[in-house]
Amino acid sequence: MGDFQMLLYVSVSVSSESRGQVSVTQQPAAAVVPGQTVSLRCKASSHVSNDVDWYLQKPGEAPKLLIYWTSNRQPGVSDRFSGSQSGTDFTLTITTRSHSDTTSYKNLP
């Protein structure tokens, strides 16, 4: 099985009063192997409530919403994806179970 990459990115919604005043920093990538739990993190420069969404994009495909409002799994998305928040820190956790889950995940800024 060859290596391939999937892109993960975060969407942060902010109120009109905060627009242009919030920036998000993310770790650039994470390699995933079977049986491993990987956490991808991003940090907002100020409080953004719980309006953080995580997306997955496979090569040649449109982005797919995984997690919305920080921790709500989109219907049909595997329970191996979960989201959480601590203050201005947001985390997407991925638990792999098989070789089909093996890939490299990247965050898009």
pLDDT tens digits, 45-76: 776 676 788 888 777 778 888 888 889 999 99
Q: Between 3.40.50.1220, 1.10.1040.50, 2.60.40.10, 3.40.718.10, what CATH number should domain 5-108 receive?
A: 2.60.40.10
Among residues of the chain, what percentage have pLDDT more than 70? 53
Per-residue buried b or exposed e for 1-28, using 16+ beta carbons within 10 Å of the residue's own CB: eeeeebbbbbebebeeeeeeebebebee
Q: The whole model's pTM is what?
A: 0.72
Please give the Cα distance from 31 to 103 (Å, whole number). Answer: 6
Can you tell me whether residue 25 is helix, strand or coil? strand
Going by pLDDT thresholds of 50, 70 and 90, the confidence category of residue 27 is low
Q: What does the domain layout of the chain look like in residue ranges? A: 5-108
On the 0-12 / 13-18 / 19+ scale of CB atoms within 10 A, 65 is middle
